[in-house]
């Protein structure tokens, strides 16, 4: 169990640029979640996958956001035409199934700063 | 819809004193409840979870929480604070069938004074 890995840890970019983040879940975990956390607030659910299928997307996830999980392993979250309001910590979590006895394991996040 | 309210965005205690962090939830179905801890620039670590079994739940690092349905509360306590407990704490709720999709409170920052 090497834990959930996120890359990069920090990303600084100019407004209007596209960015892509990667999440590598714990290897046997079939569920993968993306959350966004802004300063002074708790994480907000964005989307989740079961294997390669994206099962739910929050209304927070505008058309500029897209997430994929090809082959049901790692996942990417892309933000197109970034805006100031996209500055946040993006957290990834994974779990083995959705049952309550299979808790989520969180990565250390990718902090995005928009100049 | 589910929601969580954490009362008090900042709590300060002396080392050795009781820690009490408050959480109230709203859920249309019997909830699953969680407490997480987050250290600076890190992800969230699960402290404990309520799964409709025992109402008093014991977690890691000496923390425990009691589920009170009548009060819709799930407050986190620790009898004696350590300096290493200084961190941000989040209460979260999720609903069957997706225990993994959680709604989080805004967090409580715990400061421990020597």
> For residue B99, what pLDDT is reported?
66
Question: What is residue B111's predicted lDDT score, i.e. its pLDDT?
Answer: 97
Minimum Cα–Cα distance from B39: chain A residue: A108
The residue in chain A having the minimum alpha-carbon distance to the alpha carbon of residue B95 is A100
Region of residue B94 (left: phi > 0; alpha: psi -120 to 50; beta: else): beta
Query: How much of chain B, in percent, has pLDDT values that exceed 90?
Result: 73
Q: Which of A11-15, B20-24, B96-100 has the lowest mean pLDDT?
A: B96-100
Gyration radius of chain B over CA positions: 13
Tell whether the model's pLDDT for residue B84 goes beyond 80.
yes
pLDDT band at B2 (very low <50, low <70, confident <90, very high): confident
Is the four-CA dihedral B46, B52, B54, B55 of positive or negative sign?
positive
**CA angle in degrees (0–180, nearest 5) for B28-B29-B31:** 110
Amino acid B108: pLDDT: 97
Q: How confident is the model at residue B52 (pLDDT cuts 50, 70, 90)?
A: confident
Comparing CB atoms, the residue among A95, A98, A108 nearest residue B43 is A108
Element (H, E) at A98: none
**pLDDT above 60: residue B41:** yes
Average pLDDT, chain A: 92
Of A31, A33, A100, the CB nearest to B51: A100
- Closest partner residue to A103 among B49, B97, B107, by Cβ? B49
CA distance B110 to B29: 30
B99 at A interface, C-beta within 8 A: yes
* pLDDT band of A91, cuts 50, 70, 90: very high
What is the C-alpha to C-alpha distance for residues B93 and A57, in angstroms, rounded to an integer?
A: 18
Task: Tell me the pLDDT band of B110, cut-offs 50, 70 and 90.
Answer: very high
Distance from the A82 Cα atom to the nearest Cα atom in chain B, whole angstroms = 22
Q: Do B9 and A40 count as a contact with CB atoms less than 8 A apart?
A: yes
Residue % of chain B over a pLDDT of 70: 96
Q: Does B7 contact A at CB distance below 8 Å?
A: no
| Residue A5 pLDDT level (bands cut at 50, 70, 90) | very high
Average pLDDT for B81-91: 97
Interface test with A, best of B40, B42, B44, B102 (most A CBs within 10 A): B44
Mean pLDDT value across residues A29-43: 92
Calculate mean pLDDT across residues B50-75.
92
B35 touches chain A (CB under 8 A): no
Is the pLDDT confidence value at A1 over 60? no
Question: Quick check: B47 pLDDT over 90?
Answer: yes
């Amino acid at each position: 169990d090497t834990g959930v890995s996120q890359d990069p840890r920090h990303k600084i970019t100019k407004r209007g640029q596209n960015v892509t983040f990667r999440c590598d879940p714990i290897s046997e975990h079939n569920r993968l979640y993306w959350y966004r956390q802004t300063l002074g607030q708790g994480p907000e659910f964005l989307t989740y996958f079961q294997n390669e299928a994206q099962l739910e997307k929050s209304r927070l996830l505008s058309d500029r956001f897209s997430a994929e999980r090809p082959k049901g392993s790692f996942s990417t979250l892309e933000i197109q035409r970034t805006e100031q309001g996209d500055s946040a910590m993006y957290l990834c979590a994974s779990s083995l199934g959705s049952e309550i006895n299979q808790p989520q394991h969180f990565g250390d996040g990718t902090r995005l700063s928009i100049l | 819809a589910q929601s969580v309210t954490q009362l008090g965005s900042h709590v300060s205690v002396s080392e050795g004193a009781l820690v009490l962090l408050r959480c109230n939830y709203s859920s249309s179905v019997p909830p699953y409840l969680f407490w997480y801890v987050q250290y600076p620039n890190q992800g969230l670590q699960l402290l404990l979870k309520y799964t409709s079994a025992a109402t008093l739940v014991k977690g890691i690092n000496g923390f425990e929480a009691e589920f009170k349905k009548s009060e819709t509360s799930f407050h986190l306590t620790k009898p004696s604070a350590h300096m290493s407990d200084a961190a941000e704490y989040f209460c979260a709720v999720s609903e069957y069938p997706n225990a993994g999709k959680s709604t989080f409170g805004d967090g409580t920052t715990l400061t421990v004074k020597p």
